[in-house]
Structure 1
């Protein structure tokens, strides 16, 4: 159910139409994508009245198939209506660069109840050092927390509305991870301090709670 490409998309339901929004998303929007070859699974999350869906694909080529073209460009009347009235829309396509997970969790890590997303827009000439810091210094220290189940890092290929180019998805067993000694340690290393002094080092952070069951596709 975990692939090397993801579609990360947020929406806030139209006021007063939350139930209709959830029914549409669970019964039409996700199932249509799960029928497209290359789509492995889709999981919804929620935070502060808004909702996120993360779609797992074998790779990003799943988005260039004739089947996906039909889903994307021939929406139903209900889909047209919902998309015309939602707010807070985001859409990021991303290619997985690395994965670090608790060895004993295996596929369970993907089912974590909390998803902590971290976006950055890193200058091209600083990407190599940023990537090295995140993978060699930052993530290993975070993973010292028992509640830090997995970290996946992505290169963003399509960004809407903010031109981020790096995304990290942190799969957490509980909110205790966010106040853990491991996180405090990871945020206070000399390497991080060096990067944090640069004007571009401004991450965008959000913690989402799992919403509903994961739906799976043809290739799982």
Structure 2
């Protein structure tokens, strides 16, 4: 069961085969994202290029709630994809897809040009201790850095491509903040030291991304324009 009021995201990584990069980007920007932005419950999307880690590209779809994935419109996209979607998904490499339910949103609401994504496979018996460290110690220490803008934490609802149970998305204004004294302190706190020797702790997934495009649903765009309250 999930809380119908809790925000969620779709998190999907992949990369095109050699020689198909232009086709890959055109597909995402003109087919895949617009089709989803037209659906109820899909409020925005962002695409990223990897600076560290692989696969090379990440797409994040912002969902008002997980119920956005149960609509007839979304089911139709999944069961009867466009021809170009069917082709692209048959040739991409490194495909992952995770449905993530938000459990924490800390910091400002500013979107950074860079994103640090971290994933953990936390055993059930360590979840409470992990949450105490990440939410109670690690995140507050990171946010002391001016350019560490926002941290959103998620629990995996369903996943394809890795063992992960928890994700954290860190919005960064600059890359330099990754070398900041605040981050160094956050990586050596007392609660962290209690977990550091656990085998699963050292097997985290880590990626550093640069944002390449941002999209909003038509209804979200309309609501941001003075005097416009609906879209026909």
TM-score of the superposed pair, with normalisation by structure 1: 0.93
Shift of the 123–25 alpha-carbon distance from structure 1 to 2, 3 Å rule, reads same
1:129-162 CA-to-partner distances (Å, cap 9, x unmatched) read 1001101100000011111000000011111111
Aligned counterpart, 1:178: 178
Aligned mates of 1:195, 1:155 — CA distance in 2: 19
1:137-152 aligned at under 5 Å gives the runs: 137-152=137-152
Check whether the contact 1:37–1:218 (CA below 8 A) recurs between aligned residues: no
Q: Among 81, 85, 88, which residue is 2:87 paired with?
A: 81
Using the alignment, how far apart are the partners of 2:190 and 2:33 within structure 1?
43
Q: What does 1:141-220 correspond to in 2, within 5 Å?
A: 141-202=141-202, 203-212=204-213, 214-220=214-220
Deviation at residue 14 of structure 1 after TM alignment: 2.0
Contact 1:114 1:207 in 2 (8 A): yes
What's the CA shift for 1:163?
Answer: 2.1
* Matching residue of 2:7: 4
The CA deviation at 1:219 is 4.4
| Shift, 1:78, TM fit | 1.2
1:16 — aligned with what? 19
Instruction: Tell me by how many angstroms 1:11 deviates.
Output: 1.1
- Residue 26 of structure 1: SS of its match in structure 2? helix
What's the Cα RMSD here?
A: 1.3
Q: Distance in 2 between matches of 1:210 and 1:20?
A: 19
Is 1:90 matched up with 2:96? yes
Q: Structure 1 stretches (4+) deviating beyond 3 angstroms? A: none
88 and 121 in structure 1: CA distance in 2 versus 1, 3 angstrom threshold: same
Q: For structure 1, which segment, 196-205 or 167-176, has the greater mean C-alpha deviation from structure 2 after superposition?
A: 196-205
1:79 deviates by 1.0
Counterparts of 2:219 and 2:40, CA distance in 1 = 7
Q: CA deviation at 1:191?
A: 1.3
Q: Report the alpha carbon displacement of residue 125 of structure 1 after superposing the two structures with TM.
A: 1.0
Q: Hey, what does 2:73 align to over in structure 1?
A: 67
On the 8 A contact 1:93/1:158 being kept in 2, the answer is yes
Gaps of 5+ in 1: none
- Structure 2 unmatched ranges of 5 or more: 1-5, 221-232
- What SS does the corresponding residue of 1:163 show, helix, strand or coil? coil
Matched-pair contact (CA < 8 Å) for 1:39–1:218: no
Distance 2:139 2:107 in 1: 10
The DSSP-based 3-state class of the residue aligned with 1:36 is coil
**Equivalents in 1 of 2:143, 2:107: separation in Å?**
8
